[in-house]
Protein backbone atom coordinates (compact mmCIF):
# COMPACT_ATOMS: atom_id res chain seq x y z
CA UNK A 1 0.00 0.00 0.00
CA UNK A 2 1.28 3.48 -0.83
CA UNK A 3 2.13 5.78 2.13
CA UNK A 4 -0.61 3.82 3.87
CA UNK A 5 -1.26 5.74 7.11
CA UNK A 6 -1.07 9.10 5.33
CA UNK A 7 -3.30 7.81 2.51
CA UNK A 8 -5.97 6.73 5.00
CA UNK A 9 -5.84 10.17 6.62
CA UNK A 10 -6.32 11.79 3.22
CA UNK A 11 -9.18 9.38 2.52
CA UNK A 12 -10.95 10.47 5.71
CA UNK A 13 -10.07 14.13 5.16
CA UNK A 14 -10.54 14.88 1.45
CA UNK A 15 -9.48 18.48 2.03
CA UNK A 16 -5.98 17.15 2.78
CA UNK A 17 -5.56 15.46 -0.60
CA UNK A 18 -2.69 16.95 -2.55
CA UNK A 19 -1.20 18.45 0.62
CA UNK A 20 1.77 17.19 2.67
CA UNK A 21 0.54 15.00 5.53
CA UNK A 22 2.83 13.65 8.25
CA UNK A 23 1.64 10.90 10.60
CA UNK A 24 3.54 10.64 13.87
CA UNK A 25 4.59 12.92 16.67
CA UNK A 26 3.72 16.61 16.62
CA UNK A 27 6.08 19.13 14.99
CA UNK A 28 7.43 20.33 18.33
CA UNK A 29 7.52 17.00 20.15
CA UNK A 30 10.44 14.68 20.79
CA UNK A 31 9.21 11.93 18.49
CA UNK A 32 9.53 10.69 14.95
CA UNK A 33 7.60 10.47 11.68
CA UNK A 34 5.70 7.22 11.31
CA UNK A 35 4.95 7.80 7.64
CA UNK A 36 4.18 10.70 5.35
CA UNK A 37 2.38 11.41 2.11
CA UNK A 38 4.24 11.67 -1.17
CA UNK A 39 3.62 15.42 -1.12
CA UNK A 40 5.68 15.60 2.10
CA UNK A 41 8.39 13.34 0.69
CA UNK A 42 9.11 15.92 -2.00
CA UNK A 43 10.40 18.16 0.80
CA UNK A 44 12.78 15.43 1.97
CA UNK A 45 10.62 14.12 4.82
CA UNK A 46 11.09 10.40 5.51
CA UNK A 47 9.83 7.76 7.93
CA UNK A 48 11.73 7.58 11.26
CA UNK A 49 12.91 11.18 10.84
CA UNK A 50 12.57 13.33 13.98
CA UNK A 51 9.34 15.30 13.75
CA UNK A 52 11.15 18.55 14.52
CA UNK A 53 13.41 17.96 11.51
CA UNK A 54 10.34 17.13 9.37
CA UNK A 55 8.75 20.43 10.43
CA UNK A 56 11.94 22.33 9.54
CA UNK A 57 11.90 20.77 6.06
CA UNK A 58 8.15 21.11 5.54
CA UNK A 59 6.55 23.69 7.86
CA UNK A 60 3.38 23.68 5.74
CA UNK A 61 2.73 19.99 6.49
CA UNK A 62 -0.33 18.73 8.36
CA UNK A 63 0.85 16.73 11.40
CA UNK A 64 -1.59 14.10 12.73
CA UNK A 65 -1.21 11.41 15.40
CA UNK A 66 -1.64 7.78 14.28
CA UNK A 67 -5.20 6.42 14.24
CA UNK A 68 -4.54 2.67 14.30
CA UNK A 69 -8.21 1.74 14.44
CA UNK A 70 -8.84 3.45 11.10
CA UNK A 71 -5.71 1.97 9.53
CA UNK A 72 -6.59 -1.54 10.70
CA UNK A 73 -10.12 -1.19 9.33
CA UNK A 74 -8.86 -0.26 5.86
CA UNK A 75 -6.18 -2.97 6.09
CA UNK A 76 -8.81 -5.62 6.79
CA UNK A 77 -10.74 -4.54 3.72
CA UNK A 78 -7.56 -4.64 1.63
CA UNK A 79 -6.74 -8.17 2.77
CA UNK A 80 -10.29 -9.22 1.93
CA UNK A 81 -9.62 -7.93 -1.58
CA UNK A 82 -6.34 -9.87 -1.74
CA UNK A 83 -8.11 -13.06 -0.65
CA UNK A 84 -10.74 -12.61 -3.36
CA UNK A 85 -7.93 -13.11 -5.92
CA UNK A 86 -6.17 -16.04 -4.22
CA UNK A 87 -6.39 -17.85 -0.88
CA UNK A 88 -2.60 -17.91 -0.67
CA UNK A 89 -1.88 -14.59 1.02
CA UNK A 90 1.06 -13.95 3.37
CA UNK A 91 0.63 -10.80 5.40
CA UNK A 92 3.96 -9.09 6.05
CA UNK A 93 2.59 -6.03 7.82
CA UNK A 94 -0.58 -3.99 8.12
CA UNK A 95 -0.03 -2.62 4.61
CA UNK A 96 1.97 -5.27 2.75
CA UNK A 97 1.43 -8.86 1.63
CA UNK A 98 2.77 -11.51 -0.69
CA UNK A 99 0.31 -13.48 -2.83
CA UNK A 100 0.79 -16.72 -4.75
CA UNK A 101 -1.37 -16.16 -7.86
CA UNK A 102 -0.27 -19.27 -9.79
CA UNK A 103 -3.66 -20.93 -9.52
CA UNK A 104 -5.59 -17.76 -10.43
CA UNK A 105 -3.88 -16.77 -13.68
CA UNK A 106 -6.15 -18.90 -15.89
CA UNK A 107 -9.03 -16.59 -14.92
CA UNK A 108 -7.27 -13.60 -16.55
CA UNK A 109 -6.14 -14.98 -19.92
CA UNK A 110 -8.42 -12.75 -21.97
CA UNK A 111 -7.72 -12.57 -25.70
CA UNK A 112 -3.96 -12.96 -25.28
CA UNK A 113 -3.15 -9.33 -26.07
CA UNK A 114 -2.26 -8.66 -22.42
CA UNK A 115 -0.40 -11.23 -20.27
CA UNK A 116 -2.63 -12.71 -17.54
CA UNK A 117 -0.17 -11.55 -14.85
CA UNK A 118 -0.69 -7.94 -15.87
CA UNK A 119 -4.47 -8.36 -16.20
CA UNK A 120 -4.68 -9.78 -12.69
CA UNK A 121 -2.42 -7.10 -11.21
CA UNK A 122 -4.41 -4.31 -12.84
CA UNK A 123 -7.66 -5.84 -11.56
CA UNK A 124 -6.14 -6.09 -8.08
CA UNK A 125 -5.07 -2.45 -8.03
CA UNK A 126 -8.48 -1.33 -9.27
CA UNK A 127 -10.27 -3.43 -6.63
CA UNK A 128 -8.15 -2.00 -3.80
CA UNK A 129 -8.80 1.53 -5.03
CA UNK A 130 -12.54 0.88 -5.36
CA UNK A 131 -13.08 -0.99 -2.09
CA UNK A 132 -10.57 0.76 0.17
CA UNK A 133 -10.24 4.25 -1.30
CA UNK A 134 -6.43 4.10 -1.33
CA UNK A 135 -3.83 3.00 -3.87
CA UNK A 136 -1.37 0.14 -3.85
CA UNK A 137 1.71 -0.69 -5.90
CA UNK A 138 2.07 -4.23 -7.24
CA UNK A 139 5.07 -6.27 -8.31
CA UNK A 140 4.50 -9.54 -10.19
CA UNK A 141 7.51 -11.83 -10.46
CA UNK A 142 8.60 -15.46 -10.26
CA UNK A 143 9.68 -15.14 -6.60
CA UNK A 144 9.17 -13.09 -3.45
CA UNK A 145 12.41 -11.12 -3.75
CA UNK A 146 11.66 -9.84 -7.24
CA UNK A 147 7.98 -9.23 -6.45
CA UNK A 148 9.02 -7.01 -3.54
CA UNK A 149 11.49 -5.11 -5.72
CA UNK A 150 8.88 -4.77 -8.47
CA UNK A 151 6.39 -3.25 -6.06
CA UNK A 152 8.92 -0.51 -5.24
CA UNK A 153 9.82 0.38 -8.83
CA UNK A 154 6.97 2.69 -9.81
CA UNK A 155 5.39 3.95 -6.59
CA UNK A 156 2.86 5.34 -6.00
CA UNK A 157 0.03 3.38 -7.66
CA UNK A 158 2.59 1.51 -9.74
CA UNK A 159 2.83 -1.87 -11.45
CA UNK A 160 5.85 -3.86 -12.57
CA UNK A 161 5.77 -7.32 -14.13
CA UNK A 162 9.13 -9.10 -14.12
CA UNK A 163 9.20 -12.11 -16.49
CA UNK A 164 10.76 -15.45 -15.43
CA UNK A 165 13.74 -15.07 -17.76
CA UNK A 166 17.12 -15.37 -16.03
CA UNK A 167 19.01 -13.24 -18.58
CA UNK A 168 16.42 -10.44 -18.46
CA UNK A 169 16.35 -10.54 -14.66
CA UNK A 170 20.14 -10.22 -14.43
CA UNK A 171 20.10 -7.33 -16.92
CA UNK A 172 17.37 -5.60 -14.92
CA UNK A 173 19.22 -5.98 -11.61
CA UNK A 174 22.74 -5.21 -12.84
CA UNK A 175 22.57 -1.38 -12.47
CA UNK A 176 20.46 -1.42 -9.31
CA UNK A 177 22.16 -0.42 -6.04
CA UNK A 178 22.81 -3.24 -3.59
CA UNK A 179 20.52 -1.53 -1.11
CA UNK A 180 17.57 -2.15 -3.45
CA UNK A 181 17.79 -5.86 -2.60
CA UNK A 182 15.27 -6.85 0.04
CA UNK A 183 17.03 -7.42 3.38
CA UNK A 184 20.24 -5.58 2.48
CA UNK A 185 20.65 -2.71 4.90
CA UNK A 186 22.93 0.25 5.39
CA UNK A 187 25.52 -1.81 7.31
CA UNK A 188 26.04 -4.18 4.38
CA UNK A 189 26.17 -1.29 1.92
CA UNK A 190 28.86 0.43 4.01
CA UNK A 191 30.87 -2.78 4.26
CA UNK A 192 30.85 -3.25 0.47
CA UNK A 193 31.41 0.39 -0.58
CA UNK A 194 35.21 0.55 0.12
CA UNK A 195 35.67 -2.33 -2.35
CA UNK A 196 33.74 -0.54 -5.09
CA UNK A 197 30.78 -2.90 -4.75
CA UNK A 198 27.75 -0.67 -5.16
CA UNK A 199 25.42 -2.40 -7.63
CA UNK A 200 24.04 -5.89 -8.11
CA UNK A 201 26.26 -6.19 -11.17
CA UNK A 202 29.31 -5.44 -8.97
CA UNK A 203 28.27 -8.20 -6.55
CA UNK A 204 28.06 -10.75 -9.36
CA UNK A 205 31.68 -10.01 -10.39
CA UNK A 206 33.05 -10.75 -6.91
CA UNK A 207 33.86 -14.38 -5.93
CA UNK A 208 31.84 -15.68 -2.98
CA UNK A 209 35.05 -16.24 -1.04
CA UNK A 210 35.95 -12.56 -1.29
CA UNK A 211 32.39 -11.55 -0.31
CA UNK A 212 32.72 -13.85 2.70
CA UNK A 213 35.90 -12.08 3.80
CA UNK A 214 34.21 -8.69 3.43
CA UNK A 215 30.97 -9.59 5.21
CA UNK A 216 32.47 -12.01 7.75
CA UNK A 217 29.83 -14.67 7.01
CA UNK A 218 29.70 -17.36 4.34
CA UNK A 219 25.91 -17.61 4.62
CA UNK A 220 25.50 -13.84 4.17
CA UNK A 221 27.84 -13.85 1.16
CA UNK A 222 26.03 -16.73 -0.54
CA UNK A 223 22.67 -15.14 0.12
CA UNK A 224 23.81 -11.79 -1.32
CA UNK A 225 25.26 -13.51 -4.40
CA UNK A 226 21.95 -15.28 -5.06
CA UNK A 227 19.88 -12.16 -4.49
CA UNK A 228 22.07 -10.14 -6.89
CA UNK A 229 21.05 -12.65 -9.59
CA UNK A 230 17.37 -12.50 -8.62
CA UNK A 231 17.41 -16.00 -7.13
CA UNK A 232 15.12 -16.60 -4.14
CA UNK A 233 13.82 -20.05 -3.21
CA UNK A 234 11.48 -18.94 -0.43
CA UNK A 235 7.74 -19.52 -0.80
CA UNK A 236 4.66 -17.52 0.14
CA UNK A 237 4.09 -18.52 3.77
CA UNK A 238 0.32 -18.64 4.04
CA UNK A 239 -1.85 -20.57 6.42
CA UNK A 240 -5.61 -20.98 6.48
CA UNK A 241 -7.24 -18.98 9.26
CA UNK A 242 -10.63 -19.73 10.71
CA UNK A 243 -12.69 -16.61 10.10
CA UNK A 244 -14.58 -15.27 13.10
CA UNK A 245 -16.69 -13.05 10.89
CA UNK A 246 -17.26 -12.20 7.24
CA UNK A 247 -17.89 -8.57 6.34
CA UNK A 248 -17.68 -5.97 3.59
CA UNK A 249 -17.55 -2.19 3.76
CA UNK A 250 -17.82 0.52 1.13
CA UNK A 251 -16.58 4.10 1.41
CA UNK A 252 -18.39 6.43 -0.98
CA UNK A 253 -16.16 8.58 -3.17
CA UNK A 254 -18.38 11.52 -2.15
CA UNK A 255 -20.53 11.59 0.99
CA UNK A 256 -23.92 10.17 -0.03
CA UNK A 257 -27.02 12.21 0.97
CA UNK A 258 -29.54 9.82 -0.66
CA UNK A 259 -30.89 7.16 1.72
CA UNK A 260 -31.97 4.92 -1.17
CA UNK A 261 -28.49 5.00 -2.70
CA UNK A 262 -27.00 3.92 0.64
CA UNK A 263 -29.63 1.16 0.91
CA UNK A 264 -28.82 -0.09 -2.59
CA UNK A 265 -25.10 -0.24 -1.78
CA UNK A 266 -25.89 -2.12 1.44
CA UNK A 267 -27.77 -4.77 -0.55
CA UNK A 268 -24.74 -5.16 -2.86
CA UNK A 269 -22.54 -5.75 0.19
CA UNK A 270 -25.03 -8.28 1.61
CA UNK A 271 -24.94 -10.27 -1.66
CA UNK A 272 -21.13 -10.27 -1.69
CA UNK A 273 -20.91 -11.32 1.98
CA UNK A 274 -23.36 -14.15 1.28
CA UNK A 275 -21.37 -15.40 -1.69
CA UNK A 276 -18.10 -15.36 0.24
CA UNK A 277 -19.73 -16.90 3.31
CA UNK A 278 -21.08 -19.87 1.34
CA UNK A 279 -17.62 -20.69 0.01
CA UNK A 280 -17.43 -23.16 2.91
CA UNK A 281 -19.95 -25.12 4.99
CA UNK A 282 -20.91 -22.79 7.84
CA UNK A 283 -23.80 -20.86 9.34
CA UNK A 284 -23.92 -17.43 11.04
CA UNK A 285 -25.91 -16.47 14.11
CA UNK A 286 -25.50 -12.68 14.07
CA UNK A 287 -25.92 -9.90 11.48
CA UNK A 288 -24.35 -6.45 11.80
CA UNK A 289 -24.44 -3.19 9.86
CA UNK A 290 -22.08 -0.24 10.12
CA UNK A 291 -22.70 3.37 9.10
CA UNK A 292 -20.30 6.32 9.22
CA UNK A 293 -21.56 9.80 8.42
CA UNK A 294 -19.77 12.84 7.01
CA UNK A 295 -18.97 13.96 10.54
CA UNK A 296 -17.04 10.69 11.08
CA UNK A 297 -19.54 9.46 13.64
CA UNK A 298 -19.70 5.66 13.37
CA UNK A 299 -22.76 3.65 14.39
CA UNK A 300 -23.17 -0.13 14.42
CA UNK A 301 -26.24 -2.26 15.01
CA UNK A 302 -26.44 -6.01 15.27
CA UNK A 303 -29.05 -8.67 15.90
CA UNK A 304 -29.27 -12.44 16.03
CA UNK A 305 -30.96 -14.49 13.35
CA UNK A 306 -34.00 -16.51 14.45
CA UNK A 307 -31.89 -19.54 13.54
CA UNK A 308 -28.38 -19.93 12.10
CA UNK A 309 -28.37 -18.82 8.46
CA UNK A 310 -26.27 -18.73 5.32
CA UNK A 311 -28.72 -17.65 2.60
CA UNK A 312 -29.08 -14.27 0.89
CA UNK A 313 -32.75 -13.84 1.76
CA UNK A 314 -32.21 -14.10 5.51
CA UNK A 315 -29.09 -11.94 5.38
CA UNK A 316 -30.95 -9.30 3.37
CA UNK A 317 -33.99 -9.28 5.67
CA UNK A 318 -31.87 -8.68 8.77
CA UNK A 319 -29.66 -6.10 7.04
CA UNK A 320 -32.71 -4.06 6.00
CA UNK A 321 -34.29 -4.44 9.44
CA UNK A 322 -31.18 -2.96 11.04
CA UNK A 323 -30.87 -0.28 8.33
CA UNK A 324 -34.49 0.87 8.77
CA UNK A 325 -34.00 1.02 12.54
CA UNK A 326 -30.93 3.24 12.14
CA UNK A 327 -32.17 5.32 9.18
CA UNK A 328 -36.00 5.17 9.22
CA UNK A 329 -37.66 5.32 5.80
CA UNK A 330 -39.35 8.58 4.88
CA UNK A 331 -36.96 10.72 6.91
CA UNK A 332 -34.14 12.79 5.43
CA UNK A 333 -30.63 11.87 6.53
CA UNK A 334 -29.29 14.06 9.34
CA UNK A 335 -25.87 13.91 7.66
CA UNK A 336 -24.68 12.33 4.39
CA UNK A 337 -23.29 8.80 4.72
CA UNK A 338 -19.57 8.25 4.21
CA UNK A 339 -19.33 4.50 4.75
CA UNK A 340 -21.73 1.55 4.89
CA UNK A 341 -20.90 -2.00 5.89
CA UNK A 342 -22.48 -5.39 6.51
CA UNK A 343 -21.17 -8.49 8.22
CA UNK A 344 -22.12 -11.77 9.86
CA UNK A 345 -20.48 -13.40 12.87
CA UNK A 346 -20.85 -16.05 15.58
CA UNK A 347 -20.09 -18.73 13.01
CA UNK A 348 -20.76 -22.43 13.54
CA UNK A 349 -20.24 -25.56 11.44
CA UNK A 350 -23.75 -26.99 11.84
CA UNK A 351 -27.11 -25.27 11.20
CA UNK A 352 -28.20 -26.11 14.76
CA UNK A 353 -26.69 -27.38 17.99
CA UNK A 354 -28.67 -30.58 18.18
CA UNK A 355 -27.46 -32.53 15.15
CA UNK A 356 -29.58 -33.94 12.34
CA UNK A 357 -33.26 -34.72 13.03
CA UNK A 358 -35.14 -37.71 11.66
CA UNK A 359 -37.61 -35.46 9.79
CA UNK A 360 -37.20 -31.87 8.62
CA UNK A 361 -39.44 -29.33 10.32
CA UNK A 362 -41.23 -26.71 8.17
CA UNK A 363 -38.62 -24.12 9.19
CA UNK A 364 -35.83 -26.57 8.30
CA UNK A 365 -37.36 -27.16 4.86
CA UNK A 366 -37.65 -23.40 4.34
CA UNK A 367 -34.02 -22.89 5.36
CA UNK A 368 -32.77 -25.57 2.96
CA UNK A 369 -34.86 -24.17 0.10
CA UNK A 370 -33.41 -20.69 0.65
CA UNK A 371 -29.88 -22.09 0.78
CA UNK A 372 -30.36 -24.02 -2.47
CA UNK A 373 -31.69 -20.89 -4.17
CA UNK A 374 -28.78 -18.77 -2.90
CA UNK A 375 -26.20 -21.30 -4.10
CA UNK A 376 -27.91 -21.48 -7.51
CA UNK A 377 -27.62 -17.69 -7.74
CA UNK A 378 -23.94 -17.98 -6.77
CA UNK A 379 -23.36 -20.32 -9.72
CA UNK A 380 -25.10 -17.91 -12.10
CA UNK A 381 -22.92 -15.02 -10.87
CA UNK A 382 -19.80 -17.14 -11.35
CA UNK A 383 -20.83 -17.59 -14.98
CA UNK A 384 -21.08 -13.83 -15.45
CA UNK A 385 -24.84 -13.32 -15.04
CA UNK A 386 -26.09 -10.29 -13.13
CA UNK A 387 -28.63 -11.37 -10.50
CA UNK A 388 -30.41 -8.98 -8.17
- Number of residues that this document lists for the chain: 388
Residue from 53, 83, 96, 307 carrying the catalytic annotation: 96
Task: Report the candidate in 131, 124, 372 with the shortest Cα–Cα distance to residue 249.
Answer: 131
Examine the residue annotation and report whether 96 is marked as an active-site residue of this protein: yes
Catalytic residues: 96
Amino acid sequence: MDAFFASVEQLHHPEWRGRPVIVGSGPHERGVVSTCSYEARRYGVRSAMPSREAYRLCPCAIFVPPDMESYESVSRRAFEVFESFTPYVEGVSIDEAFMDITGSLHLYRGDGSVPPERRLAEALRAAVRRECGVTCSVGVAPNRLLAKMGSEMHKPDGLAVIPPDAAKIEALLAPMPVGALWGVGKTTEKALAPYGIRTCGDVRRIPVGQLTAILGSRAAAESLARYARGIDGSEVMWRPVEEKSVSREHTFSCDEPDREAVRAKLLELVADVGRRFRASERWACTARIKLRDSGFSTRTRQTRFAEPARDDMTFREKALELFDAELPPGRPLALPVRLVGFGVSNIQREPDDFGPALFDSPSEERRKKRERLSMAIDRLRERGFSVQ
